[in-house]
Structure 1
Amino acid sequence: MNRFILSVSFSLALGLASALLPLSSAEAAGPRCLTDCTPRVGIVSAFGAEADILLAETTGRREHRIHGRRFTTGQLRGNRVVIVLSGVSMVNASMVTQQLLDHFRVERLVMSGIAGGIDRADHVGDVTVPDRWAMPMEVYWHAGAGLPSPCGVAGDLACLGLRLAVGEDGRPLPPFVPDGTDVPAGSWHLRQNHVLSRRTAPQGAFFFDYPVDAEMLAVAQGIEPPLQRCGPRATRADGSIDEALCVRQVPRLRVGGRGVSGTAFLANARYRDYLHHVLQARSFEMETAALAHVALANDVPYIAFRSLSDLAGGESFDAEAGALFTSGLAEANEAAVTLSFLEAWRRRPRR
């Protein structure tokens, strides 16, 4: 009897080990897809009106509800896609992106929406495609103006598990120093973020910039989307154009430079100028860098398109910004860039 029990126990142990081995191999090979395992391009839109345009262009639509949020699969410009609206904020963007990657087999990520312009050389309606994104509001808020030294050496934050962001010379980037009209005295020293992924495990790695995918950026550099000066609602019933619902210059596609995201709605001209001079930033919004962080942690390539609505930090009403939204131009041009990119992506030479 004991020999029989031992034999059965040994067989059960072998069976359990065999059952567990495929799971380990699957985890090493890549993420699971809880809802749909068809390879897709994941499109995260931060602006509902633009998402509606993309959905209207999508064929074979199928809706999936995950924790109350709508994810729509189908075909868009010859690509299998899954489209979701993130909603405003870094937290929402992070949560939705991870849900997207958990439930669908997303091989590439596209983020699109509206941003505030930082570079005065850009104009309302221009669509930017940064080659990297950063989170400048991830800071060490120091009481003084010099380098913080919580670990005994100026600029060393290692005892806190933190690391300051540095420039090309290896020195910490200049801090933002608010004045009395902004926030209490002190200085905001830019930090890097720690990212843990299969590629960086087990220690993880620190990043300030999140580069977009080089292949996707190369495709974006070659597209010529049909950007308009007047939105669809600028056309009157008699066919004439209401110039009050048009921007002054024909919008351009601007590829390259740094985009930045933060947890605040930026309405501070001093901080806008700081971002431009210190980081050479071109746009500011509240979602893309969070998506980029999740993309890096999951080893998924990404790119982002952002239509400029105004000069970030402006406090007075901007008639062009009003025209951009009122006429439907913001969502129309943003969707045009996304669709043009997807068309070019489908036709790209395969490696």
Structure 2
Amino acid sequence: MGHKWAVLVVAVLFVVAMAQPSFALRYNHPKHGALRKVNKKGPYFAILMTFSKELSALETAGVFVPNSEVPYIEMAGRRFNIGKIKGVNVIYVMSGEQMVNAALTTQILVDTFNLYGIIHYGIGGSSNDTVSFASVSVVKYAAFTSAWHWQAGGNLLGTVEFDSTEFYSVHTAGKEYVFWFEVDSKLYDIAAAHLTDVKLESRVNSTYTLPVEPKVVFGLKCGTADTFLHNAAFRDFLYNKFNISTTDEETASVIMVSNSNGVPCIVFRSVSDMDGSLKIPGEFEILSAKNAVIAVVKYLEVIGKVYKFR
């Protein structure tokens, strides 16, 4: 009995710690009434993806049950879909690609909705040969790898100086300079404890199956930049200098904005290509997006069962 009560207390404290107050829209905003109805049903996990194939993977999975009263709210040209997945309250939205769109959408989420936290998923490139196609990285750290300048001397990769980012947070006074942005440790630990044996898809099409079975991997670092990386030399440089295993155009922005507002965040990125490859078959992107969704849905199932967010 003592152990059960201890587990219950931990679960309750976890929910209280993650629940965040939402900032209401101005009183005369046309969405004000709908938002109040939505937030009374919360808190929610916000699910953020960045482009159409990632969105399609979630919608075709058939796991989302829309809210019967307010199924969605449209703001800033984006549709915020309200409902449940595996019994867990969720709001999913496609932000648009690259850092500004991701940051803007994340800020709208934390300012507008009553959230437990943010789940960001998508596809990305691999800069580490050991992370195979369609495997899903549960990212631990991310950095802005386009924040750099050339040092004096020849314009070689060895003369690149990487910059930290000015970071403002509700938990600190004034600004800090941060290079690595870390996902929420509690959300990450839940994934690490429960998702190691998730079965991912390896069949690309009717005639080809991946030679290496994809898996969920943990503890990797991610590099984010508004540059679609197709350069093997720079890929190797990022891995050798920072031990970066995956690259994309949004992850660091989502984590930074979440952390700045004190909202827990976790990231799932599935490998769709090897940085530096000449061509990315669209079927690899579809498969990778599907595997990212498989991992996210399993994660929500775990969240729902362990912490009873229903």
Q: Given the two structures, how large is their TM-score scaled by the length of structure 2?
A: 0.81
* Total equivalences in the alignment: 269
Distance 1:323 1:51, change over 3 A: closer
Shift of 1:51: 2.1
CA distance in 1, matches of 2:78, 2:21: 24
Shift of 1:288: 0.7
8 A Cα contact 1:124 1:309, kept in partner = yes
CA distance in 2, matches of 1:214, 1:200: 18
Shift of 1:322: 4.7
Shift of 1:226: 2.4
Structure 1 residue 46 and structure 2 residue 46: aligned?
no
CA distance in 2, matches of 1:53, 1:271: 30
- 1:215-252, CA deviations, whole angstroms, 9 ceiling, x for partnerless residues? 11112112132201114xx3xxxxxx322xx3222111
Which residue type is aligned with residue 50 of structure 2? A
Equivalent residue for 1:79? Answer: 88
Which range moves more in the overlay, 279-288 or 338-347? 338-347
Q: Secondary structure at the match of 2:171?
A: coil
Which residue type is aligned with residue 119 of structure 1? N
Q: Secondary structure at the match of 2:234?
A: helix
8 A Cα contact 2:165 2:177, kept in partner = yes
Structure 1 residue 295 and structure 2 residue 258: aligned?
yes
Structure 2 gaps, min length 5: 1-19, 26-34
Equivalent residue for 2:207? Answer: 242
Shift of 1:58: 1.2
Equivalent residue for 1:178? Answer: 156
Equivalent residue for 1:225? Answer: 198
Which residue type is aligned with residue 159 of structure 2? S
Instruction: Decide which of 215, 230, 250 is 1:267's aligned counterpart.
Output: 230
Shift of 1:73: 0.7
Instruction: Decide which of 188, 193, 208 is 2:165's aligned counterpart.
Output: 193
Shift of 1:50: 3.0
- 1:261-320, CA deviations, whole angstroms, 9 ceiling, x for partnerless residues? 111111111111111001101100000101111111111111111110111122x236xx
Identity of paired residues, percent?
26
Shift of 1:255: 0.9
Q: Max radius of gyration: which structure?
A: 1
CA RMSD of aligned residues (A): 2.0
Structure 1 gaps, min length 5: 1-28, 146-176, 180-185, 235-240
CA distance in 2, matches of 1:344, 1:310: 29
- Aligned pairs for 1:43-192 within 5 A: 43-55=47-59, 56-61=62-67, 62-144=71-153, 178=156, 187-192=159-164
Q: Given the two structures, how large is their TM-score scaled by the length of structure 1?
A: 0.72
CA distance in 2, matches of 1:105, 1:211: 22
Which residue type is aligned with residue 216 of structure 1? L
